[in-house]
Amino acid sequence: MTAANPKEEPMPDARPNAALRAALWMTGAIAAFSAMAIAGRQIGAAHDTFEIMGARSAVGLALVLVIGGARGQLGQLSTRRLPGHVLRNIVHFTGQNLWFWALTMIPLAQLFALEFTMPIWVLLLAPLLLGERMTRPRALAAALGFAGILIVARPDPSALNPGVLAAAASAVCFALTSILTKRLTVDEPVIGILFWLTLLQMAFGFAGAALDGHVTWPTAATAPWLALIGASGVLAHLSLTSALRLAPASFVVPIDFTRLPLIAVLAALFYDEPLDPWVLLGGAVVFAGIWINLRAELRPKGHSPAVTKP
């Protein structure tokens, strides 16, 4: 697997608006991941996580082939980086199944609060595995984002259960997935990453669903939600991969903190979960951290002092 060049500047795209474009791509990922959570909650009682993952990836693969074919990009597909794709998708498949399982067991706000420890893991691992520089604005954005999550969710450490542990483990898997995705974006096109993502996870999902000898097929009630999960999954990973091609993982991933205030609002609207002032305060802290990080990345090079440099 080819590693990113440790001496590479933080913004691989030399254009000055690369950070802003990466942030805009992340808004698509945030919207798609939120839609997937709502859809997953709607059908969690009808399908197990393997069935959801298999159906989601089948829809995603069809979309990738149609869109890639229409844009003439299918010729870019190759097996040159297949070992890297397999490793990435094993890690991601594990994390996604843990996430969907936890989705049926704990409240949305708690699930997202635990999932959002993922950027902390990315910030810690990116300098070691990707050679990225840890700047003060990035560290501050992560700290403020995590503080905002604690303000919103106010997790109870004594309330440990399998759902909480599954959500925490999924965060570690998602962090490693982001690291592995960033490594692939060095010389792999987006269409290749999405193709192998959907193909491999479709195979993993249907194989897992068949293990117990019983498969629940989509019904008229669940098919639209499964289609939404599939479409959202493709959009989310298209957006995330595009953002990672433009900016370092340690800049891109903390933007995802904004998903927690958003999902708290959606949970209040769809599931009557109370929306209190702590959500507004926590959301303000989250946005403050992201704004600090974005402004730092938009400055000319040399204006963000490094805390560590590999």
For the record, the structure tokens of 169 come out as 């483990």
Burial of 25 from C-beta contacts in 10 A (0-12 / 13-18 / 19+) = buried
CA-CA distance, 55 to 64, in Å (whole number)? Answer: 14
Per-residue DSSP letter, 161: -
Q: Read off the pLDDT of each residue in 181-210 and give the average, rounded to a whole number.
A: 89
Percent of the chain with pLDDT over 70: 86
* Residue with the two structure tokens 């440990």: 160
- For residue 156, give every residue at least 6 positions away whose Cβ sits within 8 Å of its Cβ, in sequence order, or none: none
Please compute, for residue 253, the number of CA atoms within 13 A of its CA located in the half-sphere on the CB side.
29
**pLDDT (tens digit per residue) in 59-80:** 989 999 998 999 999 999 999 9
Residue 10 has pLDDT above 60, yes or no: no
Identify the three-state secondary structure at position 46: coil
Smallest CA-to-CA distance from 83 within 169, 220, 167, 183 is with 183
Contact (CB, 8 A) for 1 and 86: no
Residue 257 contacts residue 34 (beta carbons within 8 Å): no
CA 107 to chain CA centroid, nearest Å = 19
How much of the chain exceeds pLDDT 90, in percent? Answer: 16
Using alpha carbons, select from 14, 30, 11, 18 the residue that is nearest to residue 255: 30
Q: How many CB atoms lie within 10 A of CB 128?
A: 11
Give the model confidence (pLDDT) of 99-147 as tens digits: 888 888 877 777 877 777 777 777 777 777 777 777 888 788 778 877 8
Nearest CA among 257, 260, 23, 259 for reference residue 118: 257
Least confident stretch, 15-19, 136-140, 165-169? 15-19
Beta-carbon contacts of 259 under 8 Å, excluding residues fewer than 6 positions away, are 30, 33, 34, 112, 116
pLDDT at 300: 63
Least confident of 41-50, 89-98, 111-120, 211-220: 111-120
